[in-house]
């Protein structure tokens, strides 16, 4: 079956611009996660959705970052006034939901964001 998909795969933008990154989770998965991975580092948690609501947004670095999941499926990560330090691979993951304590998170291929 289809896995987690992310679009675009690559995004190059200029400093100060606005970008949107999209994530399509596995069908039926109620939990969705965004992580950011810098070169040579492990993924860093940004935000977690359970259904339509953000259950934990403690990883968002500042108010330039915002994410939505209006219908409980597709999610969009929005970054305003991009800075060069925002350059990273943005990973999305989904899992079946909080039916048990720990769920395997299925990751998408990521969106590589480059801010010039």
Partner 1 sequence: SQELEQSPQSLIVQEGKNLTINCTSSKTLYGLYWYKQKYGEGLIFLMMLQKGGEEKSHEKITAKLDEKKQQSSLHITASQPSHAGIYLCGAARIQGAQKLVFGQGTRLTINP
Chain positions contacting partner 1, by CB under 8 A: 4, 31, 33, 40-45, 48, 50, 55-56, 58-59, 91, 93, 95, 98, 101-110, 112
CA–CA dist 77, 22 (Å, integer)? 6
Separation of alpha carbons 67 and 54, rounded Å: 8
Rounded least distance, CB 81 to partner 1, Å: 25
Query: CA 70, CA 109: separation in Å to the nearest integer?
Result: 22
H/E element, 89 = strand 88-95
Pairing of strands 10-13, 111-115: parallel
Residue 94: CB minimum distance to partner 1, A: 11
Q: Which residue lies nearer to partner 1 by CB, 45 or 66?
A: 45
Q: Tokens 């995004």 label which residue?
A: 11
In the bound state with partner 1, the residue whose beta carbon lies nearer, of 14 and 27, is 27
User: Closest separation between CB of residue 93 and partner 1, Å?
Assistant: 8
Rounded to the nearest whole angstrom, what is the least distance from the CB of residue 24 to partner 1 in the complex? 13
- Output 16 or 61, the one with its CB closest to partner 1: 61
Which residue lies nearer to partner 1 by CB, 19 or 23?
Answer: 23
CB atoms within 10 A of CB 104: 7
């Amino acid at each position: 079956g289809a896995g987690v998909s992310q679009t675009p795969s690559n995004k190059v933008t200029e400093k100060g611009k606005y970008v949107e990154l999209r994530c399509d989770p596995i069908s039926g998965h109620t939990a969705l996660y965004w992580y950011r991975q810098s070169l040579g580092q492990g993924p860093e948690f940004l935000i977690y959705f359970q259904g339509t609501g953000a259950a934990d947004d403690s990883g968002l670095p500042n108010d330039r970052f915002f994410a939505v999941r209006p219908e409980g499926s597709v999610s969009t990560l929005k970054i305003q006034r991009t800075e060069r330090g925002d350059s990273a691979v943005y990973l999305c993951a989904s899992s079946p939901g909080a039916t048990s304590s720990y769920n395997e998170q299925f990751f998408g291929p990521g969106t590589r964001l480059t801010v010039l």
